[in-house]
Amino acid sequence: MADQSSSNNTTINPENVIKILMATDIHLGFQHNRNTGTTFEDSFITFEEILQYANEHEVDFILLGGDLFHDAKPSQTTMLRCLELLRKYCLGPREIKIEFLSDPNIVFEHCANKVVNYEDPNFNVSIPVFSIHGNHDDPSLAAVGSLDILSASGLVNYFGKYTNLVNMKIHPLVIKKGETQIAIYGLSHINDKRLARLLNESKIELLSVPDEEFFNILVLHQNRVPHCNYDYIPQTKLPKLLHLVMWGHEHECRIDEEFVPQTKYFITQPGSSIATSLCEGESIPKHVGILKIHGQKFKIEKLPLKTVRPFVFDDLFLQEEEIIPEKNEVTCDAVLRFVKRFIEDKMIPAAARLLTGHPKQPIEPLIRLRVYYETEEQIFDLIKFGQLFCDEVLNPMDMIIFRKPSSSEKKTRNRRPKIIGDPDDPDAGPIESRSENDSFLDMANALGYHDNDDNDEVACIRDIPHKIAQHFNLPSNKMKLKVLSNNGLSEALIRFVEKGDGDAFLDLAKFQKKKAAEYLESCDGDFGEFSNIVEAIHPFIEERDAQDDDNQVKEFFSTRTVKREISDILSDDDILVDTDEDNKSVQKEKEKPKRGRGSRGGRGSRARGTPKLKF
């Protein structure tokens, strides 16, 4: 392991080594839905295995990186099961060997009980649990969430909850064991764009411990992979005083430490403990880790999760396969037969190899096959196909996703489909004319509509505006939007999807058409020919500053919302006229105020007289 690891453990006194079990994204309460066949029990089975690992390895504490629960308001059954497991594995008479040196009134300011649980005389804690919240169990600003309840119960030490999102000063959990001292900074989930802006403006400050050498850890729960502009946290932009970043939210297991060359810190990404979507990253084997720290050195020991339901993901490019229809068999039935054999001969045996022999591991596997097709004749009935595997696979109706290969994928796989009976003549050469459907599929690929299997629905929607901008910023597409703008389309899409605004696109088109017409009216020239109009509009497109356009679009939708609210209280015979007087009344309406609706007694090893740190 890198030069940060301990090279010779035999010479190290274990009383100077802090052992931490790291896990993120446990998603208690996740159950069967339309995207996956995972059952309600899976998350609890794996969480129990994680707690058993903590006991087996006698860790000093457990560190969770958010999304302990799948829902912000988990069901009573989910909460009960969580409390039962924490009580069973984290309470007991075992001696706590770590000292907690932070001022609990500062680091647990948001908690009802402002004390680290193992120093509470009312509890016998054998394994402390420290946790931030994620986006799934985010209580929102100043609200009570599921982790607040666990904190009040004394079973979890909840840190990293912030209400001041203007200038953030993050106080660390300062923990000492023997000669080793660590500072853990918690940053619960915040809107990625807001956090990226705060980092760029240097408005996040990690308060370092004065006059001491500590091993500094940051626990956060944010996008690491770029989904769209500024909708992620660049891994090079975090404060330089860190030694290790424990990254939650991303479900792919990348628990081996990764050095960031532009900085001096490492990143570990434990990933989720169960698959909550049928994407490729979720099929990577799941692990948790034991982080061992001695002085300024560390080592991560990977622990495989043996109770995880088998999940196999694969790709199948039909153009690379020789699929021979039988007599009187249509193309789609030949493809169905080939895909069925592919799953039976390759994917189900691969799932069987993932069985660990653990008595609580679910046996029925999750299967996802991404089929890249070339022609519509290759698509078969998914319901009919799923019925063939009802007794073998947990998600028979979600096994297959059809996808049109992108241009980049075609370049690396330029062989034609080998389906005998293909109506396309292989010697006919490239098709010169393109149908309307072809253009639609190209746009779908450009906007990422075929990526739904790789992201949850919210992530896909937030990604589409970025894809719109990418598509229309290409030199070949730059002038295709002559009236509408990238920002306008993106804002209308978000309002259409998130707010159910069915008129967003129509009203936007009217607004931006009016702006374009006003520009043309201000120009001198003969616009009798359509080509003259197209030529005249080019400067309008090129001069439209992105930031000004974004502000203009948002101001339009804000004003339009107010007008719509006013129109809702008018009778059907009333008409809103776009006059100066009307605009004044709208402005007055906007200005109106809205009506609101330790141990027990001393089991901890903190030396007598050791002061709590206040800074």
Residues recognised as catalytic: 136
In the numeric block, which tokens belong to residue 432?
Answer: 């010169």
Q: What SS3 state is found at 347?
A: helix
| CA–CA distance, 337 with 345 (Å, rounded to integer) | 12
Q: How far apart are CA 497 and CA 460, in angstroms?
A: 11
Q: Are 288 and 50 in contact (CB under 8 A)?
A: yes
Q: What are phi and psi of 37, to 5 degrees?
A: -100, 10
Tokens 């090279």 label which residue?
Answer: 7
Residue indicated by tokens 């509009």? 537
Look at the block and give the residue holding tokens 């424990």: 246
- Residue 368 CB partners (closer than 8 Å, separation 6+): 278, 279, 283, 311, 312, 313, 314, 395, 398, 399, 401, 453
Beta bridge mates, 206: 170
Three-state secondary-structure class, residue 535: helix
Cβ atoms 34, 316 nearer than 8 A = no
Closest residue by Cα to residue 165 from 146, 186, 141:
141
CA–CA dist 491, 546 (Å, integer) = 13
> Does residue 312 sit in helix, strand or coil?
strand
Looking at the DSSP bridge assignments, the partners of residue 301 are: 290
479: which 2 tokens? 């002038």
- Alpha-helix runs per DSSP H in 301-426: 331-342, 348-352, 382-386, 407-412
Quickly count: other Cβ atoms within 10 Å of residue 473's Cβ: 10
